Amino acid sequence: MSRLRVRASGPLRGSVRVPGDKSISHRAVMLGALADGTARIDGFLNAEDCLCTARAMQAMGVDVEGLPETSLMVEGVGLSGLREPTGELDMGNSGTGMRLLLGVIAGQSFAATLTGDESLSGRPMDRIAAPLAEMGASVSGQGGRVLPPVTVRGGTLRGIEYHTPMASAQVKSAVLLAGLYADGPTTVVEPGPSRDHTERMLRAMGADVSIDGLTVTLRPGRELVARDVTVPADFSSAVFVLAAGLLTPGSEVTVEGVLLNPTRTGLLEAMASMGAVVSVSDTEQVAGEEVGNLTAREAALGGCELGGELIVRLIDEVPLLAVLAACARGTTVIRDAAELRVKESDRLAVMADVLGAMGADVTEHPDGLEIAGPTALRGATIHSHGDHRVAMSAVVAGLVAEGETVIEGAECIATSFPGFVTMMQSLGAQCVEEHD
């Protein structure tokens, strides 16, 4: 168990590069394993979530060299080369890894059981189980919402047209990955945009994928060809550094080489609506994705209303958005975010508690939060609830709070952002880690 002690800091200044993108790291090692040939992955996020996915591929017979470093060599076994694992696949805290692997294993000739930690064991898999069952796979778990441990038994799959009840890259990806093994085209239709990393990577590796607005169709029959991948810096990690720069007086911070995929950067639009000054520079294309440098400077923020498809594109950043809202003048309303109740924690309830403990005026709603600001935040003792984004959001709040903020259970940050504390210290943050 570890804790962080955070105090209000002077100006934060400097340029940093945060770890590789988590979403792309998961997909790079997974699709590399299913391809023909050898792929080099540079910039792999060697945090626990992605390491669990890599180890799961190893357990199914894939040679992954270089773990736990950031440069890997993946010797692909082809679409039909995976073998049955000898035990359960432990996915740790990784919902992405578990959900996407359910789609992959649905097309195999064997069964596998996927398990995880206490947090992941409370996250429902029914949204994945339903379309996979429609395709012909068997997916069983605990209770009506199919909680882990989850067992998936592959078989002969049929192509389907599936209309997702919500925009979800994890659901879409699981169905498309299963579609690689189907007897005909598989189509996913979403009500709004979601992350498109799976489609991009599949196309780059030779899969027959067509996109028409919110409809994605995969036609099976083509083998995947291994491609080297350079993983950009993770936008969802970069925003914690940027938010600290926006809120801390006199600050100017730059995060280099950040993924700028438009399905991921909704928080930049939300920040702009609040009056934030975040500039983009030195953009380039890397492995089919736009990347660039992001610079944030101290800014006076104002409240706004946020909902609809924008929330889908910033869903992981809502805890941090709530911190920004507490420091903004006026009322901020966040709606259409009920999905956050089944993440690593109930992020709506937890962030309402976190900010309430620090003196913020927060009202919790079934699908969001209403936050009146600005608040002179005060230090408090905060529990992470095992949620890395809650813990890092509390650090940002602590950097502008009066007194000391203590974040208990801070070891969860390593699931997505190894080196977070050291990086914040390098910029001038007063943040100290302690271990029991």
Determine the pLDDT at residue 287: 65
- State the Cα angle at 57 between 233 and 152, rounded to 5°: 115
The string of pLDDT tens digits covering residues 8-30 is 988 999 999 999 999 999 999 99
Residue ending a domain, among 214, 230, 246, is 230
Determine the pLDDT at residue 155: 83
Same domain, 400 and 382: yes
Report the distance separating Cα 399 and Cα 21, nearest Å.
Answer: 25
Nearest partner of 237 among 367, 434, 421, judged by Cα: 421
Determine the pLDDT at residue 122: 92
Same domain, 174 and 241: no
Same domain, 133 and 119: yes
Determine the pLDDT at residue 100: 98
- Is residue 367 among the annotated active site residues? no
Report the distance separating Cα 240 and Cα 413, nearest Å.
Answer: 12
Q: Measuring CA to CA, how many Å separate 376 from each of 198, 218, 322, 358?
A: 42, 52, 14, 9
Determine the pLDDT at residue 285: 82
Same domain, 12 and 65: no
Q: Per residue in 126-138, is it b (16+ CB within 10 Å) or e — as a string?
A: ebbbbbbeebbbe
Contacts 24+ apart (CB under 8 A), 277-283: 277/246, 278/242, 278/246
Same domain, 212 and 257: no
Dihedral sign for Cα atoms in the order 294, 300, 301, 302: negative
For the chain, which residues score pLDDT lower than 50? none
Same domain, 301 and 247: yes
Same domain, 223 and 260: no
Residue ending a domain, among 209, 230, 251, is 230
Residue ending a domain, among 171, 195, 230, is 230
Same domain, 302 and 417: yes
Among 21, 49, 117, 316, the one annotated catalytic: 316
Same domain, 181 and 294: no
Same domain, 225 and 305: no
Determine the pLDDT at residue 1: 80
The count of domains in the chain is 2
Residue 196 contacts residue 172 (beta carbons within 8 Å): no
Determine the pLDDT at residue 209: 97
| Three-class SS state of 309 | helix
Domain of 64, in residue numbers: 22-230
The string of pLDDT tens digits covering residues 256-296 is 999 999 989 999 999 999 999 899 999 998 767 899 999 99
Same domain, 218 and 253: no
Determine the pLDDT at residue 96: 94
- The domain that contains 129 carries what CATH number? 3.65.10.10
Same domain, 8 and 104: no
Residue 302 contacts residue 274 (beta carbons within 8 Å): yes
